[in-house]
Chain A
Amino acid sequence: MLSFLVALGILIFGSMISLLTRRWVRHVTYGSVCVGSVTGLFFAVYALCQPLAQSVRFGTPLPDLAVTFGVDPLSAFFLVALFGLALVTSLYAWGALHDQHARCSRLPFFPLLVASMAAVLTARNGVLFLVCWEIMSLTSFFLVVTDHERREVRHAGWIYLVATHLATTFLIVCFVLLRRETGSFDFHTWEHLAPLAPALAGLLFVLALVGFGTKAGIFPFHVWLPHAHPAAPSHISALMSGVMIKTGVYGLLRLLTFLGPPPLWWGVTLTAMGLCSAVMGILYALVQRDLKRLLAFSSVENVGMIVVGLGLGVIGLQQQNPLLVLLGLGGALWHVWNHTLFKGLLFLAAGSVLHATRTRMIEQLGGVLKRMPMTGLAFCVGGAAICGFPPFNGFVSEFLIYVGLFHGAQHLGGLSLCVVVAAIVGMAFAGGLAVACFAKIIGIVFLGEPRSESATIAHEGPLAMRIPLMVLGVLLLLGGLFPHAVWPGVFAALNVVAAPLHLSGADAGDPVLALLAPVAQVAALLLGLCVVAIGFHRLFYRNRRVRQGITWDCGYAAPTPRMQYTASSFTQPIAVFFRALFRPHIPYARPTGFFPIATTFAVHIADVAEQRLFVPLFRGCDRLFEPLRTLQTNRIQNSLALIFFSLIALLLWEVWFGI
């Protein structure tokens, strides 16, 4: 535990120091994150392997607030992802920011963000948790608006700020209700909560689902994600998408350990919401033209898969079916790690492309692979992994969830059977669309010919930006080839959530190991077969003539890169098929007259959750609270007075009625 506190100290100290210096700010910031992350990573891996369950407590004079940090395998599991990715992204950013001094003013928030996420994952007190949660939200907000000169960045930051605060409101209500039941904010008293009334437990679950689900980016609470990720610098997007949205998953899991045996509808709700997230996320990802916005929607998809696994695990807990729990929760947790790795890789690689070409627009890129071979290769590996292809790591977690779902389809009945079958088909559909989606990005961005001037100037970044990509790429492959090395960690973490099933003992995870052993062998075989086939293919070319020519275009005399298929045309059949969902807005001026000169055409696809749910909701709120505008005079003493009086009112409420 001491080394964890040391790591936390290094991160906070680094952020303070970097506030003081201007010249060394980059080195201090990223140096401290590197050192802090390495320290924390060692601790987290140790805590996961051991499995360690410790906590330290610092009393404070404030009632209910005890600064309690604790670690158990579940925390350690997420900490490994956090510190691992923080280490890699800080190395990357160290290289990426070498020529961008203007952006350095926001750097002190970076170590603070890592520290606050670590604190969220280890907080063992409700108030402390919420405080750290807020620090995490605020520091990430400041990092998102790094390029605050641009209008859309400020807009994105604003949406993010509102979303994350609304989510926290739900969490506050949830935690206060728990406090009322137990009389304490300490997590260890919540763990021994007597069986709650079903209605109360259900209410707490829904509150947590909305609160944590917003952070995790579950459909339809994901609306902030596609705004915040393109706005933030790439390494921040990587960290936010790779780890920060997972704190929402962590929160859900942690809360499940408090609420006692779950009823069936929780599992069904989780699975259904996850399914919805997975399919909608990838559908929207497919039609995006902004590289990072696309990756953000793909995060929604992957969180959906995680939540499907989670829901399956909860159904298993309710049915007392250990195999379902192992496969569902195990697959979900595993996918957390996997998604951290490949989404981190994809965001960093996208960042390199952005860094080199100064554009995120897929339609303007092309042929980047030849100019940035290493980044391109890393992106291809990441794309293959996120689509879940063997022999990469993404396959293993999706495989476990699928096998769990198939097992569920064979052993469940009624409503849960329907949901499980829908989940299988939905995940398969999402998988098929993911293939289309990542073939589109790789094909349009990295292959073919450059579509604009900016794509022709693409070049590799400094070595510090390439090494993280290589490390992550190799980890993706290793994760797929040696799944049995990863399983003990996953098992230790899932055992915390599945404690009521008493899955203790060395052989409890064996069914999964038995499933994984052939997968690992077959993945290795596939890799070998690919190498052999490529070698065999090369054999044909001994002493053969290989010429270079131009691409076949029906004999057209002057081919230009603009004749290539574009990303929008690639996804057009799907966009048309789902037009009821996308509701594209197409401003199109029809050419008129005998000699039309100019016309314009554009397609805008808005997010249905944003347009149909949140815009009307906020409009309604706006109208409802319009009369209160008169109180808003933009004078600070009035605002302070308002806050003071509301506090008094709340105090009186507390004295007379209790909470």
Chain B
Amino acid sequence: MVHLAILLISPPFFLGVIAKTKATFAGRKGPPLLQMYYDLFRLCRKGTVYSRSTSVVLRLAPGMVCATLLMAGLFLPLSWPAPIHFSGDLIFFAYVLAFGRFLLLLSALDVGSSFAGMGASREATFGALSELAFFMGLVTLAVITRSVSFSGIFLWGGTHPMVRPAIVLLFLSFFLILLTENARVPIDDPNTHLELTMIHEAMLLDVGGPDLGLMLYGAAIKLFLFMVITVSCVWPPTGGFGLPEIGGFFAKMIGMAVVIGVVESSNSRLRLSKVPQLLVANFVITTLALLATILGGT
């Protein structure tokens, strides 16, 4: 229940933290930490405009995208074992996320706009390429911990040496995947106003009102999920359940959000043609991590 509550309520908060960090770096005051919540409430009270080109797909997609992301969230251990865990749940996780992406792509193509098509095309390409590194990372984790479940992987009993080379490489790799999957700065700029350069935003250009609210909320959950995975690599959940654990969880998540903010502030976005190279480089990093694991012994 607490898991579900955290999953449902907290994700937009971390976007606030990232925005605050970036504002601090830029010497601005920045929006309040809870700005995202205000935005979501405002959007939910609005009506909407649908393009005449759209079909039923666009009307169903926002709800389903959120459902797939929430589903994925049930597999990740926050600080205690996840509500749903079974052998092979990481495959389910990956495929549910892919399902969400598929629905997002369809809803983008449904409006028949060139901008949405561009965004969808880029999302599909980068998604496929980051799948390489993501699964290689999962294999490495599975080999290190002899488990095929997130709860098994991240709760391997506290005997985990945090500064193993493989783990450091994996952290780096999952961090890059996080930036890619969530359209953060070196890949895509969430604050851009030029349609031609957008990825994620371009897909949402023709989505409005509560639909947009759900899509943004979904994006916040997705960021939350990848933050959990990334942070769990270096600071694995303890497995216990109680107030200190919840506090610890929030502390490390806020830390992660600050790191994202710092990286976003100190980098400019890459040229689109460079992004695949970054993703392949990321795949090489995970391969090195796997080699380090296998050759280094467990």
0/1 interface trace, chain B 122-154, chain A, CB 8 Å (1 if under): 101101111110111001001100101000000
Q: Residue-by-residue, is A522-561 near B (CB-CB < 8 Å gives 1, otherwise 0)?
A: 1001100110111111101100111111111110000001
Given A402-B91, A403-B87, A551-B53, A424:B135 Cβ within 8 A: yes
User: A399 CA to B112 CA in the complex, in Å?
Assistant: 34
Whether A425 pairs with B139 at a CB distance below 8 angstroms is yes
Question: Out of B101, B117, B209, which one reaches A565, CB within 8 Å?
Answer: B117
B24-78 with Cβ < 8 A to chain A: 44, 46-57, 60, 62-64, 66-68, 70-71
Question: Contact at B67–A530, with CB atoms within 8 Å?
Answer: yes
Contact of A534 among B63, B71, B128, B273 (CB under 8 A): B63
Q: How near does chain B come to A540, taking the closest CB pair, in angstroms?
A: 4
- Asked if B95 is at the interface of the complex by the 8 Å CB criterion, the answer is yes
Inter-chain contact B135/A428, CB cutoff 8 Å: yes
Q: How far is the CA of A563 from the CA of B118 in the complex (A)?
A: 12
A266 lies within 8 A of chain B by Cβ: no
Asked if residues B210 and A435 are in contact (CB atoms below 8 Å), the reply is no
Q: A406-B142, A540-B210, A552-B206 in contact; A533/B64 too (CB < 8 A)?
A: yes
Residues 394-430 of chain A, each 1 if its beta carbon lies under 8 Å from chain B, else 0 = 0100110011001101100000010001001100110
A13 close to chain B: CB less than 8 A: no
**C-alpha gap A432/B132 in the complex (Å):** 9
Inter-chain contact A546/B114, CB cutoff 8 Å? no
Partner of A435, one of B55, B101, B122, B146: B101
Q: CA of A384 to CA of B101 in the docked complex: distance in angstroms?
A: 11
Minimum CB distance partner of B99 in chain A: A389
User: How long is the Cα–Cα vector from A561 to B114 in the complex, in angstroms?
Assistant: 10
Residue B120 interfacial (CB < 8 Å): yes
Cβ of A217 within 8 Å of any chain B Cβ, yes or no, is no
Q: Which residue of B lies closest to A523 (CB)?
A: B92
CA distance A177 to B134 in the complex (A): 46
Contacts of B52 in A (CB 8 A): 548-551
**By CB atoms of chain B within 10 A, which of A431, A526, A532 has the most?**
A526
Interface 9-residue window, one of B103-111, B225-233, B245-253, B261-269: B103-111
Q: Are A447 and B106 in contact (CB under 8 A)?
A: yes
Q: Is the CB of A534 within 8 A of B91?
A: no
Q: Which of A435, A537, A540 interacts with B127 by CB under 8 Å?
A: A435
Q: Is the CB of A552 within 8 A of B113?
A: yes
For A451, the closest partner residue in chain B by CB is B112
With beta carbons under 8 angstroms apart, the residue of A410, A421, A447, A552 that contacts B290 is A421
Of A366, A380, A536, which contacts B112 at CB under 8 A?
A366
Does the CB pair A570–B63 fall under 8 Å? no
Contact call B120/A432, Cβ cutoff below 8 A? no
Stretch in A236-244, A353-361, A571-579, A620-628 with 4+ CB within 8 Å of B: A571-579
How far, in Å, is A526 (CB) from chain B's closest CB?
5
Complex interface: chain A residues within 8 A of B99 (CB)? 384, 387, 389-390
CA distance A390 to B108 in the complex (A): 21
Among A439, A449, A518, A569, the residue within 8 A (CB) of B105 is: A439
Is the pair B112, A448 in contact by a Cβ cutoff of 8 Å?
yes
A545–B47 alpha-carbon span in the complex (Å): 5
Partner of A570, one of B53, B117, B148: B117
Q: How far is the CA of A540 from the CA of B206 in the complex (A)?
A: 18
CB < 8 Å: which of B47, B55, B102, B148 contacts A438?
B102
| A-side contacts of B210, CB under 8 Å | 537, 540-541, 544
A269 at the interface (CB under 8 A from B): no
Q: A369 near B: Cβ within 8 Å?
A: yes
Q: B84 at interface (Cβ–Cβ under 8 A)?
A: yes
- The answer on a CB contact under 8 Å between B53 and A389 is no
Q: How far is the CA of A440 from the CA of B56 in the complex (A)?
A: 17
Question: How far, in whole Å, are A551 and B88 apart by their CA atoms in the complex?
Answer: 42
For the complex, would chain B's binding face be called helix, strand, loop or mixed by DSSP majority? helix
Is residue A436 contacting chain B, with contact meaning CB distance below 8 A?
Answer: yes
Contact B113 A429 (CB under 8 A): no
Is the pair A436, B127 in contact by a Cβ cutoff of 8 Å? yes
Contact A409 B139 (CB under 8 A): yes
Nearest residue (CB) in B for A517 is: B86
Distance (whole angstroms) from the CB of B253 to the closest CB of chain A: 24
State whether the Cβ of A433 lies closer than 8 Å to any Cβ in chain B: yes
**Chain A residue at smallest Cβ distance from B57:** A447
Let me know if A525 and B71 touch, CB within 8 A: yes
Cα A435 to Cα B108 with chains together (Å)? 14
Among the listed A443, A537, A540, which residue makes an inter-chain contact with B110, where contact means beta carbons less than 8 Å apart? Answer: A443
Query: Restricting to A353-383, which residues have a CB under 8 Å from any CB of B?
Result: 366-367, 369-370, 380
* B172 within 8 Å of A (CB atoms): no
B70 contact set on A, CB distance < 8 A: 529, 533
Residues of B within 8 A of A532 (CB): 67
B23 within 8 Å of A (CB atoms): no
Contacting B at CB under 8 A, from A438-476, are 438-440, 442-444, 446-449
Do B64 and A534 touch (CB < 8 A)?
A: yes
Residue of A nearest to B126 (CB): A573
Q: Is A515 an interface residue (CB 8 A)?
A: yes
Q: Is A73's CB within 8 Å of the partner chain B?
A: no
What is the distance, in angstroms, from B148's C-beta to the closest C-beta of chain A? 5
Contact check, A399 vs B92: say whether CB atoms are below 8 A apart: yes
Q: Flag if A428 contacts B94 (CB, 8 Å).
A: yes
Asked whether A388 is an interface residue with its Cβ less than 8 Å from the other chain, the reply is yes
The answer to whether A533 touches B131, judged by C-beta atoms less than 8 angstroms apart, is no
Complex Cα gap A148–B113 (Å): 40
**Given A548-B49, A565-B117, A435-B57 contact (CB < 8 Å):** no
How long is the Cα–Cα vector from A571 to B49 in the complex, in angstroms? 29
Task: Say whether B214 faces chain A, with CB atoms less than 8 Å apart.
Answer: yes
Chain A residues near B278 (CB, 8 Å)?
none
Q: Is the CB of B91 within 8 A of A443?
A: no
* B109 pairs with A444, CB closer than 8 A: yes
Cα–Cα distance between A435 and B84 once the two chains are bound (Å): 25
Report B268-286 CB contacts with A as 1/0, cut-off 8 Å: 0000110010000001000
Cβ of B208 to closest chain A Cβ, rounded Å:
9
Asked whether B294 is an interface residue with its Cβ less than 8 Å from the other chain, the reply is yes
Q: Shortest distance in angstroms between B204's beta carbon and chain A's nearest beta carbon? A: 11
Roughly how many angstroms separate A238 CA and B110 CA in the complex, as a whole number?
27
Residues of B within 8 A of A490 (CB): none
| Residue in A closest to B62 when the chains form the complex, CB atoms | A537
Q: Are A552 and B88 in contact (CB under 8 A)?
A: no
Collect the chain A residues with CB atoms within 8 Å of residue B92's CB.
Answer: 390, 395, 399, 519, 522
User: Which residues on A are within 8 Å of B, measured CB to CB?
Assistant: 366-367, 369-370, 380, 384, 387-390, 395, 398-399, 402-403, 406-407, 409-410, 417, 421, 424-425, 428-429, 431-433, 435-436, 438-440, 442-444, 446-449, 514-515, 518-519, 522, 525-526, 529-530, 532-538, 540-541, 544-554, 561, 563-566, 569-574, 576-577
Q: A515-B87, A544-B46 are in contact. List 15 more A-B contacts (CB 8 A).
A: A367-B112, A428-B131, A431-B131, A432-B131, A436-B127, A443-B105, A530-B64, A530-B68, A533-B64, A537-B62, A548-B50, A549-B52, A550-B51, A565-B120, A570-B117
Binding site for A on B (CB under 8 A): 44, 46-57, 60, 62-64, 66-68, 70-71, 84, 86-89, 91-92, 94-96, 98-99, 101-102, 105-106, 108-118, 120-122, 124-125, 127-132, 134-136, 139, 142-143, 146, 148, 195, 205-206, 209-211, 213-214, 272-273, 276, 283, 290, 294
Q: Which 6 A-B pairs have the closest CB atoms?
A: A565-B117, A443-B109, A432-B128, A448-B112, A436-B124, A428-B135
